[in-house]
Structure 1
Amino acid sequence: MTIYYRPIVQMDAKMPTDAVLLHGGPLWFDRVEPLERGVRHGLMPASELPSASLDVLSAPRTLPGLPKDRAAIMGVLNVTPDSFSDGGKFTSSKAAVEHAQAMIAQGANVIDIGGESTRPGAAFVPEDKEVARTAPVIAALRAAGIEVPISIDTRKAAVAQAALSAGATMLNDVSAMHYDSAMAEVARRSRAPICLMHAQGDPKTMQENPQYDNVVLDVFDHLAERVEVAIAAGVAKERIIVDPGIGFGKTQAHNLALIRNLSLFHTLGCSVLLGVSRKRFIGNIGGAERAEDRASGSVSLALSGLMQGVHIVRAHDIDEHRQAFALWRALHAQ
């Protein structure tokens, strides 16, 4: 059976001499938890890790255009009429540009644009309509002088290509190239970083009783397989980002288990993205029915991601995340 290794990530200034710097620091670990299906293990010293695993966990990771010294904040810009949190607010290019400019002023390092809602129960959007929603907005952002990386949130290769032609520089595929295998060629040819996200089922049905044998290891194995598919297609590993897909075909218990074990995903050798902003389970736990009232809960979970070394946090409430992250960095500066 496969044994997986989850680093127990620490941030204290008093670091043991045998500690390993996660991606070169400042976080570190000196113990790991072996994970195996059907077997319970105790913690083991990091020094006993297989050398290949140690190399993967210690190697620095950076993405073009994003901060090298801290986690990037990815601002959400949905140009859809039906997204769960901001549907219909930014469908015009003028409104979209103004919102993007506001997010950047507040601290967003990248803007993620989506033209098809992936909320539970969302209807399919034809690719021509999705292109019509997204490409003109991306062109308008560039025409307005916006220079930060722009990500296109789509599972369709034609939409991704149109977005790149309009000025996008990153790809964010919620199907991890399952929906449209041509996405791999778009990523290879463009050399744009691509995020591969785990989702169980289609958005329309994904929340209808999702089941896993072991949600953490099942999601890990799925992403490991999709990373290998991307590499085999010619996508450079250093340009691949992985996302466990919080809320995409998962129950509240599944979501919490994945967040508790985020550090495991570093062993895939890719940058890690966490997207929890304003999700329904935050409202369920925190008592916030309206999505726009879930900023505090979103920030809380994002900080848990920072403590486990995630590289990108996808968020709606930029100023709240920026402020919390700045205080977190100041508190743990060494």
Structure 2
Amino acid sequence: MSSDVRTIEWAGDGLRLLDQTLLPARVEYATVRDVDALVDAIRRLVVRGAPALGVAGAFGVAIVVRQAAREGWDDARRDAAIARVRAARPTAVNLAAGVDRVLPFIAEGVDAVVAEAQAVLDEDVRGNRAIGAFGADWILGRLGVDRPLRVLTHCNAGALATAGWGTALGVVRELHGRGRVELVYADETRPLLQGARLTAWELDQAGIPCVVQADAAAPSTILRGLADVAVIGADRIAANGDTANKIGSVGLALACAAAGIPLVVAAPWSTVDLAVPDGAAIPIEERPAEEVLAWGGARTAPGGVDAFNPAFDVTPARLVTALVTETGVLEVAAGTAPCRRARRRCRRE
């Protein structure tokens, strides 16, 4: 992605967001200055992706504090508004973590909150670069082939989903920088087409060869031997390594296991929720039925039919070959490094 395009940044009096609902047709920004606009932007996916949501949550507290001072709110109303931001999307743990990190700075004033939120953003960019390097090293070492690789990815875990560079796509970008990418298969990611609209746009901007495929084609692509590795992001990872990611990820994981190729999950350590023992305890967001039942404003299903529209699924740890964070690589499926025990060891490395 072009270096002059920023997904999220503080604009002095509000949060400036690249409106991802308009991509790839238009590159436009929205500046949010109140809690209603921020919650709406989060829920409508103007800003999305677990790391970016963490940054939005941190700056969101600053927005609330500014609005509370401007409109004369008491502490109870201010705290209720912060809770709305924190709960705007329940599956991605980073959103709540970003909010919680800056809460202690409220007593020091809005400038202190903004400074800590900026630290969250800066750490994410640095961490993404490390994820890219660790992931590329591990993949090249694991595959042991001296040729460019065919990589499959699902949804969008690039610069658009983070404060910069990307997690899963950060790994791809690092591989590309080393001359080791032949082709990227970008799943379209139904029903909102984050892969077709966002991932393909990022790859095209970066000059990385890619094709878009239907989600249902991905397992066949893997089983036909057309992909060497699948690299995806995550919205929450349980203590045992179970991983929540965009709906459709489980199908990739099963196909990877059947084909004997690695499934690599790339995510910042903040996505690991040690308070959640396993995937069964991860809340799964369900989104509006209209996303499935209609397209372009026209209904595509019979009028009397409803929809089931979970935004995420959970891949069991036994199917996750490796978890790449900014602290290193955990080989989850091997059972040698569950997240709860691995944190200290990985940080030492």
Is TM-score (shorter-chain normalized) higher than 0.5? Answer: no
**What's the TM-score, normalizing by structure 2?**
0.27
Greater percentage in helix:
2
**What's the TM-score, normalizing by structure 1?**
0.28
- Higher relative contact order by CA 8 Å / sep ≥ 6: 1 or 2? 1
